[in-house]
Amino acid sequence: TSSLCGFCYRAKSLLKQKNINFQEIDVDNEYEKRVEMIQKSGGRTSVPQIFFGDQHIGGCDDLFELNRNNELDNL
């Protein structure tokens, strides 16, 4: 995540609503984690980039799409 990121806030809110545990990494303050995020996400630099284990989900819109399609609970 990044400070003042509305998409990050929305994604975290959805995960909390669904009682899905998550680890938040502030890439503003952790340069090494930002580099790792970019590498693991195929070059994406926007936040949030959401992962379930090693599986890259995508960003906030991708997370909400999974939820709309009733696929989020299966991950």
- Any domain includes 58: yes
Identify the domain containing residue 55 by its residue range.
Answer: 6-74
For residue 15, the model assigns a pLDDT of 98
Q: Is there a domain that residue 15 lies in?
A: yes
Q: Residue 4's pLDDT is what?
A: 87
Q: What's residue 61's pLDDT?
A: 98
In order along its 75 residues, the chain shows pLDDT tens digits of: 888 899 999 999 999 999 999 999 999 988 999 999 999 999 999 999 999 999 999 999 999 999 999 999 888
DSSP letter at 54?
Answer: T
* Beta bridge mates, 56: 51
Give the chain's domain count: 1
Among residues 10, 5, 1, 6, the alpha carbon closest in space to that of 64 is found at 10
Does 1 reside within a domain? Answer: no
| CATH for 39 | 3.40.30.10
